[in-house]
Amino acid sequence: MSNNKITISQITYTLIFWACFLLLPFLFFPHGHQQSAFDSNRFVSWYVFSIVYLVAFYYFNSAILIPKLLAYKKTLLYTVVILALLSFYLTIYFLIGKYAAETIEFVAGHPKRPPRGFWEIFFSFGPTFLFLITFTFSSVSKIISRWFI
């Protein structure tokens, strides 16, 4: 009976986490002045890319990286892989923002304002926070399930 309760609680926590996670980009990604965030092609591109990438990263980290690298105390390699995945995520985020039609249209309409640079977008709070929260939850969930359940 206790295994059944653990399974139900794990499923409940997982569903709550993913429901909250799917709403986070609405807080952190700019979507212009449209009535709905989904009217912005840039936002939709960021949202779809982020959700697909971060869900894949969540399971990749908890199912492969932690058991294959961290469990065998290969912390330097694990850290390098995580930083490479973060860099890739932020680079794609930057490229979506830079080449979106809305950005090009905005820059053309405001010639005196320089476009946001690579480092400004690369280290922006929203996508970095989403990646780090995904990293934290995938790591913690794997460690808790491995050591305590």
Torsion on CA atoms 96, 99, 105, 107, rounded to nearest 10: 100
Which pTM was predicted? Answer: 0.76
CA distance 127 to 4: 36
Per-residue pLDDT of the chain (149 residues; tens, 9 = 90+): 455 665 777 778 778 888 888 887 777 666 555 566 777 777 888 888 988 999 999 989 988 999 999 888 899 999 999 999 999 999 898 888 878 777 667 666 666 656 566 666 566 777 888 899 889 988 887 777 777 65
Q: Centre a 10 Å sphere on the Cβ of residue 28 and count the other Cβ atoms it contains.
A: 15
CA distance 97 to 113: 16
The residue written with tokens 């990263």 in the block is: 57
